[in-house]
A = this chain, B = another copy of it.
């Protein structure tokens, strides 16, 4: 039984400013409901507009499978088919959903603004700009329904102090007409999601490299989202680095928690960053994962469960654009499949998160 609808609003790890990481999540089958959440907010309103515009242009092909859709690549080929990025065993839809809501009397701008206001909570993994830029720039469009921004204390403090501070952006929290508020989450403490009452959300702190000045550790967050009706779980990662690099057991803690608390077949998917291909030197990862570290960590998950990860859906996000011949998303996908096979950790279903598509998990 599917539980989660995960729409990719943004999947890029930069350095292009378009479409950086943002994941829209809904309970499966509740597209019409008024309350959605996002994990991260590098992209937002613009991508809602783009999805609606694409749907309108492709209306005649609505019932076609989207696997043949042409996805902009701009490397060896201008476009690649969606099937080059997505495992065919996954259920993927174009746009928000095949039965997407475009109220016929609205134009696309008005419809996108209505959809934007269904996003009631933003769970932010860390305050780097590629994960929060749209949250800030979209904020004047927040209507009376309001939005809550949630994160660990360091994240919330950073957003208040450095972005909504009347210097980089108006302090909309002090602006009575904008119903925007913050909520600090506690590490490793289950949070009951207000917008989707069936969901509980558990934040794990993870390592994300070090600051340039002083080499102080940088933190990010992994969110475990659990649906209380089905007991199904989705693990959503922001930027992070492997325990092999941080030298700390942050990801081990996640894998141990999962194996001790969640039956393997209740993990409907893991959304994990992989910024760079395996060949990237450790010194150039800057707190991120490459293919071989992703496979290393999945091997630790396999050990924690003491079983192969057959059928586990791993969706890769935050691939960085690189000056090379082949689309790095394709390189990384091939590496992951090959390295996981060599590691003998089971038949994992790897795919790449593609902006503007919805995964049913």
Q: Which residues of A contact B (CB under 8 A)?
A: 14-20, 43-46, 49-50, 52-53, 56-57, 72, 74-76, 78, 107-110, 112-113, 127-130, 133-134, 136-141, 158, 161-163, 165-172, 174-175, 211-214, 216, 218, 286, 320-325
Contact = CB atoms under 8 A, between A and B. Distances in A.
Given A15-B139, A323-B110, A167 B174 contact: no
30 contacts: A14-B137, A15-B137, A15-B139, A16-B137, A17-B43, A17-B46, A17-B134, A17-B138, A18-B18, A20-B137, A52-B74, A53-B72, A53-B74, A53-B78, A56-B78, A57-B78, A78-B108, A107-B325, A128-B169, A129-B136, A129-B169, A133-B133, A133-B137, A161-B162, A162-B163, A162-B168, A163-B168, A166-B212, A170-B212, A174-B213
Nearest to A139: B15
Given A17-B134, A137-B20, A140-B15, A213 B109 contact: no
Contact of A109 (B52, B57, B75, B168): B75
A74 B49 contact: yes
B16 A45 contact: yes
Nearest to A76: B107
Nearest to A175: B212
Contacts of A110: 323-324
B171 A167 contact: no
Contacts of A213: 166, 171, 174
A168 B127 contact: yes
B133 A129 contact: yes
A138 B168 contact: no
Contacts of A211: 166, 170-171
9 closest A-B pairs by beta carbon, nearest first, are A18-B46, A166-B211, A17-B134, A74-B108, A15-B141, A162-B162, A17-B137, A16-B46, A171-B212
Given A128-B168, A130-B137, 14 more contacts: A17-B43, A74-B107, A75-B107, A76-B107, A127-B167, A127-B168, A140-B320, A161-B162, A161-B167, A162-B167, A162-B168, A166-B212, A166-B218, A174-B213
Nearest to A170: B212
Contacts of A50: 18
B133 A17 contact: yes
A138 to B, nearest CB: 5
Contact of A129 (B168, B175, B321, B324): B168
A56 B75 CA distance: 13
Contact of A170 (B167, B286, B320): B286
